[in-house]
Amino acid sequence: MLVEKAYAKLYGGYDMIVGGQELFCLQDLYGGLPSSYPYVFSLKRGNLIGLTNTTNHSVAMPLGLKAGHAYGLVKIAQLQIQGQLETVVQLRNVWSDASSDAAAAAGGVPWARGGADWKQCSLHQKQRVGYQLADDGTVWLTLATCLALFSTVLESRNVYQFPSVDPRNVDAVPLYVHVIASGWKGVTCGGREAIHLNPQFQFTTADATDVVVHLEQPCRRANMQADYPCHVAPVVAAHAVVGRRKLDVAKDVIATGTFVSNRSCLVELSLPFEGTYAVIPATYAPFESAFQVVVASPVPLAVGFVSDDDIPVCSVCRQPLKGSYRTYTSPDGVVAEHVCQGRCADEYRSMHAPVCVDCRERIEVVAGRFSGRLFTLEDG
């Protein structure tokens, strides 16, 4: 009750914590990185895992479980009964009561507390999995029953969990975490159509490694909002140049989150080679808001920032480049100028097209009049 009271005070009262998303409650309470996925069970060391049904709230639930509620996953265990292995799941159930267990056991619900299945288990097996006959606020189900009742796994991820790290050696693995607080504002509210205008950060690694990138926007409850008006997702691109804004993002994207109306988005990726990578906290549509980015890795990363003053502008209209644009280089391939598509591109070509030595007009395509082909005379 004290934790609930403190949590309500954090967000301005009990009315602000009615309903909501269990995933981000776990993040607020324990500090893990939130993620969810369907029909996968994975108890990794240090992770908090819960189950919920997000598809059918009218499904009948045994053992006093309630449809639409979330339940913490305590453990998954295998028991040997009459020469066969049975996988059972223990769930934390704050609404549990002894009468529900007794009714389930009498009704023949598999692995209900005090039921026939547990009576066939040896005392050693019961002690190994932590089974108690007395009500301890948990229920036991078969794995198959869990798959039938629950559609989604909620996970508050321990950031030590990387694909290349053996969970048995996790205590010996160093962890490097970088937390960046910034915001989308003004021109940097690029949205997905001008993703290069969003704020950019960089990290450089000397080795191939695993990286977790987590992008989070302010909680809607703190702003008294019914929903998240901003859809966010982190984008990671390779071949970045230290200190320079990356413009050609699309061709080098190696990982991106899914733009959804949610508090945060997490991506995991394995970097195949050393180098500098760009991290772009992006919004689906231009939107001004604060955000926080967490970058975690088992190897050291050199993190840098790209100045918001380094915003590319069109060389014709002098406005920030939005949407698609064209890049022109000088004959020596050194100078690059960026031009908006459409009217600006037409004007740029007109300004820089070569001049006819006879009529002194620009040599450019004129529909129905001139193809734009250029011929060089023998005298140059």
Q: What is the pLDDT of residue 60?
A: 73
Please say whether the beta carbons of 139 and 64 come within 8 A. yes
Q: Please indicate, yes or no, whether residues 228 and 147 belong to a single structural domain of this protein.
A: no
Q: Which amino acid would we find at residue 76?
A: I
Q: What is the average pLDDT across 208-235?
A: 84
Q: Please indicate, yes or no, whether residues 104 and 59 belong to a single structural domain of this protein.
A: yes
Mean pLDDT of the chain: 78
Q: Please indicate, yes or no, whether residues 3 and 127 belong to a single structural domain of this protein.
A: yes
Q: What is the pLDDT of residue 202?
A: 94
| The residue to which tokens 């097209």 are assigned | 353
Q: Which residue range forms the structural domain that includes residue 260?
A: 176-305
Q: What is the pLDDT of residue 43?
A: 46
Listed residue (187, 212, 129) closest to 308, CA to CA: 187
Q: Which of helix, strand or coil describes residue 29? A: helix
pLDDT for residue 329 is more than 90: no
Q: What is the pLDDT of residue 45?
A: 47
Full DSSP string of 294-315 = EEEESS--EEEE--TT---B-T
Residue range 189-198, pLDDT digits in tens: 888 888 888 9
Residues annotated as part of the active site:
69, 93
| 163 within some domain | no
H-helix segments, 139-248? 143-149
Longest dimension (CA), the chain: 105
CATH (domain of 189) = 2.60.120.380
Q: Please indicate, yes or no, whether residues 329 and 206 belong to a single structural domain of this protein.
A: no
Q: Please indicate, yes or no, whether residues 237 and 212 belong to a single structural domain of this protein.
A: yes
Q: What is the pLDDT of residue 21?
A: 64
Q: What is the pLDDT of residue 292?
A: 92
Q: What is the average pLDDT across 179-191?
A: 89
Label the pairing between strands 70-81 and 264-271.
unpaired
Please name the residues in contact with 300: beta carbons below 8 A apart, sequence gap of 6 or more. Answer: 176, 205, 206
| 96 within some domain | yes
Listed residue (131, 143, 130) closest to 42, CA to CA: 143
Q: Please indicate, yes or no, whether residues 140 and 227 belong to a single structural domain of this protein.
A: no
Residue range 27-85, pLDDT digits in tens: 777 666 666 554 444 444 455 666 777 666 666 777 778 877 888 888 888 888 888 88
Q: Please indicate, yes or no, whether residues 111 and 204 belong to a single structural domain of this protein.
A: no
Q: What is the pLDDT of residue 320?
A: 80
Q: Please indicate, yes or no, whether residues 216 and 287 belong to a single structural domain of this protein.
A: yes
d(CA 271, CA 207): 8
pLDDT for residue 325 is more than 80: no
| 37 within some domain | yes
Cα atoms in the 13 Å half-sphere on the side-chain side of 330: 4
Q: What is the average pLDDT across 241-263?
A: 87
Tokens read off for 290 = 């604060």
Q: What is the pLDDT of residue 42?
A: 47
| 181 within some domain | yes
DSSP 332: T
Q: Please indicate, yes or no, whether residues 350 and 249 belong to a single structural domain of this protein.
A: no
Describe the crossing of helices 2-10 and 22-30 by its angle, rounded to 10 degrees: 100
d(CA 304, CA 298): 18
Q: What is the pLDDT of residue 38?
A: 46
- Position with higher pLDDT, 380 vs 241: 241
d(CA 259, CA 192): 10
d(CA 37, CA 233): 16
Q: Please indicate, yes or no, whether residues 38 and 54 belong to a single structural domain of this protein.
A: yes
Q: Please indicate, yes or no, whether residues 195 and 264 belong to a single structural domain of this protein.
A: yes
Q: What is the pLDDT of residue 39?
A: 42
Q: What is the average pLDDT across 278-301?
A: 91
Q: Which of helix, strand or coil describes residue 109? A: coil
| 72 within some domain | yes
CATH (domain of 66) = 3.90.70.10
| 104 within some domain | yes
pLDDT for residue 256 is more than 60: yes
Please say whether the beta carbons of 9 and 22 come within 8 A. no
| 171 within some domain | no
Listed residue (71, 25, 22, 33) closest to 50, CA to CA: 71
How far out from the chain centre does Cα 275 lie? Answer: 22
**pLDDT cut 90: percent of the chain above it:** 15
Q: What is the pLDDT of residue 314?
A: 83
Please say whether the beta carbons of 211 and 269 come within 8 A. yes
Single out the residue in 280, 305, 330 at which a domain terminates.
305
| The residue to which tokens 């990138």 are assigned | 213
| 81 within some domain | yes
- Return the H-helix or E-strand segment holding 320: none
| Confidence grade of residue 224 (pLDDT, cut at 50, 70, 90) | low
pLDDT for residue 218 is more than 80: yes
Tokens read off for 83 = 């020469």
Q: What is the pLDDT of residue 278?
A: 94
pLDDT for residue 146 is more than 90: no
What b/e sequence results for 283-304 when a residue is b if at least 16 CB atoms lie within 10 Å of its CB, and e otherwise? beebeebebbbbbbbbbebebe
d(CA 180, CA 294): 6
Q: What is the pLDDT of residue 7?
A: 77
Single out the residue in 305, 329, 350 at which a domain terminates.
305
Residue range 150-173, pLDDT digits in tens: 877 776 666 555 555 565 555 566
**For the chain, how many structural domains are there in total?**
3
Least confident segment among 58-67, 278-287, 357-366: 357-366
Q: Please indicate, yes or no, whether residues 102 and 247 belong to a single structural domain of this protein.
A: no
Single out the residue in 305, 340, 362 at which a domain terminates.
305
pLDDT for residue 276 is more than 70: yes
- Position with higher pLDDT, 179 vs 380: 179
